[in-house]
Chain A
Amino acid sequence: MVHAACYADYKAKQDNPLRLHYGVIEVRGDCNASNAESQLRSALSRDGWQLLNVVSVFDADGLDQRRDSAGEYFLRY
């Protein structure tokens, strides 16, 4: 069985000086917020980012409207 494409948008930060970003990732496996969260945490911490929260989980239909906001962090991780 093939999963439908699943995406999540999130907010993350870096300290000293405070830097923030909003991004979109593709969620592998179960399409829910907690799965997205665990996936994000490991991906972000490699670059020194800290996950603040997962805003929502959505499918391919929601991608386009978030492309501009996420900017360079659109599907980066």
Chain B
Amino acid sequence: MDWIKEGTAQVNTSSATEAREIGSRIVIAGIAAIVLILAVTAVLLFINLPDANAFNMRVERLFVENDNLTSNAEIKLLEILAGSGTAFSDTLASYRFVIFVLLVFATALLVAAVAFLVMLIALNRRMGRIERQGIEVNSLTISRDQKAVYLNDFEFKLTDAAIETLSVLAEARMDDEVMTGAEIEGVISGRDAADCDEAAGATRIKRLRDTLGNQMMSELLVKNIARKGYILAIDKDVIRMI
């Protein structure tokens, strides 16, 4: 049985990391695709805009192909034509720069949009999980001098004994250790665990659960409004009777 449990646990963790890896790969691929598409657009833009010489070459061909275009005034006119063409192509070059800057902006915005989209999806998933789980502990702060424990933003007052029990459990958790009732009793009372009773530790755990559970219930489910009475601290839409 133990072996089966371990096996499923391992499968679960690996699939979770796999999903995350696939997700990040999709994000990278998406961003790369955006950058690629816009880079190709930029390159096409730069290739397809006519260069300054295009106008000059047209005018030159016109001059060569028409034998009767020889008078001074006509030649001057052709030169002016070529000159204005060149001026226009200068304008095009500045347009090209503006368009390029806009493309860079578009790239940045699209990349940001994809990143935010992915973040939003991840956040949504996490929110959904939290909503289903009830309470997810993001921070646990034990304050010995104030005899209080802070779970996320909730403050719970505890007795000295309960604080002691919680501290021992927290230290054991940081070392990834599982403690028996006798071991807990041994650490708190300062005696050898072998001399301690398993039931004494269990009692300490029960008291901790009772005080903490009670306060959590009053904070999360059954609220007491001073001089008014009691109310369920949940949205009325989620209540269903079957």
- Report A's interface with B, CB cutoff 8 A: 9, 11, 13, 15, 17-22, 52-53, 55-56, 66, 68-71
Determine if A69 and B63 form an interchain contact, defined as CB atoms under 8 angstroms apart.
no
* A20-B75 contact given A9-B70, A52-B63, A52-B64, CB 8 Å threshold: yes
Determine if B64 and A17 form an interchain contact, defined as CB atoms under 8 angstroms apart.
no
User: In the bound complex, what is the Cα–Cα distance between A34 and B82 (angstroms)?
Assistant: 29
Q: What is the total of A-B residue contacts with beta carbons within 8 Å?
A: 44
* In the A-B complex, the 7 residue pairs with the closest CB atoms: A18-B82, A69-B70, A18-B56, A22-B70, A71-B72, A69-B71, A20-B75
Name B62's closest neighbour in chain A (CB-CB). Answer: A20
Q: List 13 A-B contacts (CB under 8 A).
A: A11-B64, A18-B60, A18-B86, A20-B59, A20-B78, A20-B79, A21-B75, A22-B71, A52-B60, A55-B67, A55-B70, A70-B70, A71-B72
* A17-B63 contact given A68-B71, A69-B70, CB 8 Å threshold: no
List chain B residues, Cβ under 8 A from A69: 70-72
> Looking at the complex, which one of A9, A17, A20 makes contact with B86 (CB distance below 8 Å)?
A17
CB distance from A68 to the nearest CB of B (A): 7
Is B83 located at the chain interface by the 8 A CB criterion? yes
* A18-B64 contact given A9-B70, A69-B70, CB 8 Å threshold: no
Determine if B64 and A15 form an interchain contact, defined as CB atoms under 8 angstroms apart.
no
List chain A residues, Cβ under 8 A from B59: 18, 20
CB distance from B220 to the nearest CB of A (A): 80
List chain B residues, Cβ under 8 A from A70: 70
List chain A residues, Cβ under 8 A from B64: 11, 52-53
Name A72's closest neighbour in chain B (CB-CB). Answer: B72
List chain A residues, Cβ under 8 A from B79: 17-20
User: In the bound complex, what is the Cα–Cα distance between A36 and B64 (angstroms)?
Assistant: 17
User: In the bound complex, what is the Cα–Cα distance between A53 and B64 (angstroms)?
Assistant: 7
User: In the bound complex, what is the Cα–Cα distance between A74 and B223 (angstroms)?
Assistant: 109
CB distance from B149 to the nearest CB of A (A): 81
CB distance from B186 to the nearest CB of A (A): 94
CB distance from A25 to the nearest CB of B (A): 14
The residues in B between 77 and 127 inclusive whose CB is less than 8 angstroms from any CB of A are: 78-79, 82-83, 86
List chain A residues, Cβ under 8 A from B83: 17-18
CB distance from A10 to the nearest CB of B (A): 10
User: In the bound complex, what is the Cα–Cα distance between A48 and B66 (angstroms)?
Assistant: 23
With a 10 A CB-CB cut-off, give which of A9, A17, A18, A52 has the most chain B CB atoms: A18
